[in-house]
Amino acid sequence: YMNNKDKAFITGILVFIIFILFILVSGKHFQASAQSVKQPIEFNHKKHLQDVGLECQNCHTLVLTYYRASIPNIEVCSMCHDEGGDGQNASNPKTQKVLEYIKKGEAIPWQKVYQMPDHVYFSHQRHVVMGRIECVTCHGKIDQTTLPITTAAVKHTMDSCMNCHKKSGVSNDCVACHK
């Protein structure tokens, strides 16, 4: 027979082991976003943001009003790019590829690069609108990129989020971010 102290000790050890396993699994999930993906179109953020003068929310339309930023699709692209071209560089092979998707009415199969684990609640609206955090804080110098985003420029870990929260004077309470 085990006495209560021994039972409590073994229970504590088991809880600790489960906690460590949870952290390791979570860490791997965070790191999964660092894996390289292949994008269907060679999208040039610099051209759209600096040369054309768009802002992130022009294409990532939900970033200011919803918890997800939304990945742009043909409905968004077709607001500027259409069959006629109208000075939209329709002869460019990259633009042609966008026009093909629009013409077919087919969604562009963009690959997600940044994705939080299921147990984390992250709201773009809360961070961008209420926190007034610039996109580059979490996404790196996206406005400078001329090639498609294939890996995360900024690694999102629990430590990086907590450090930002601490620096900004925001709660690091577990329930603030974890479901």
Report CA 34 to chain centroid distance, whole Å. Answer: 11
Handedness of CA 46, 51, 53, 54 (dihedral sign): negative
- Residue 32: per-residue pLDDT: 44
> Mapping DSSP to helix (H, G, I), strand (E, B) and coil, where does residue 18 land?
helix
Each residue's pLDDT tens digit, 40-84: 999 999 999 999 999 999 999 999 998 888 899 999 998 888 766
Query: What are the tens digits of pLDDT across the range 8-36?
Result: 999 999 999 998 888 777 655 454 445 78
Ordered by start, the domain boundaries in the chain are 73-109
List the single range of 78-87, 97-106, 137-146, 162-171 with lowest mean pLDDT.
Answer: 78-87
Q: Using one digit for the tens of pLDDT, what is the confidence trace for 79-94? A: 888 766 554 666 788 8
Region 89-115: mean pLDDT is: 89
pLDDT at 148 over 50: yes
Which residue would you say has higher pLDDT here, 29 or 138?
A: 138
Which DSSP string do the residues of 119-139 spell out, in sequence order? TB---HHIIIIIS---HHHHH
Distances (CA, A) of 82 to 51, 56, 59, 123: 19, 20, 15, 32
pLDDT score of 123 more than 80 = yes
Return the CA Rg of the chain: 22
Say what the pLDDT of residue 88 is: 64
What is d(CA 123, CA 139) in angstroms, rounded to the nearest whole number?
15
